[in-house]
Amino acid sequence: GENVEQHPSTLSVQEGDSAVIKCTYSDSASNYFPWYKQELGKGPQLIIDIRSNVGEKKDQRIAVTLNKTAKHFSLHITETQPEDSAVYFCAASGPQGGKLIFGQGTELSVKP
């Protein structure tokens, strides 16, 4: 079955710097890759997603890139702010809206 690896597990940056979180997946049939932000004690919130027919997608300070050949996808956050501090999860799912397989999570800390 699908396996998703996420790195790093923790990431600390200064306010205003960029943050990059990387994920790899194992199933080449996976075609949907969402990213979720989870604040302490809350449910995950979808922040951006990408489908396999697209190589890059951007939404203001957040961007996601996908390399299907290498089976990598990454989250890029620019101009980080303290409110970006949270745990971020990547996920992958297969054709026909299969179940999501989550990465291990990255705890991002943005220091003022």
Partner 1 sequence: GAVVSQHPSRVICKSGTSVKIECRSLDFQATTMFWYRQFPKQSLMLMATSNEGSKATYEQGVEKDKFLINHASLTLSTLTVTSAHPEDSSFYICSARDTGTHQETQYFGPGTRLLVL
* Binding residues vs partner 1 (CB under 8 A): 32, 34, 36, 41-46, 49, 89, 93, 97-105
Instruction: Give the nearest distance from C-beta 52 to partner 1 in angstroms.
Output: 12
Instruction: Give the nearest distance from C-beta 74 to partner 1 in angstroms.
Output: 18
Cβ closer to partner 1: 78 or 109? 109
Cβ closer to partner 1: 32 or 78? 32
Instruction: Give the nearest distance from C-beta 54 to partner 1 in angstroms.
Output: 14
Nearest to 90 by CA among 28, 13, 23: 23
Beta-strand runs (E) in 39-95: 45-51, 56-59, 62-67, 72-77, 86-92
Cβ closer to partner 1: 38 or 78? 38
Distance CA 16, CA 79 (A): 4
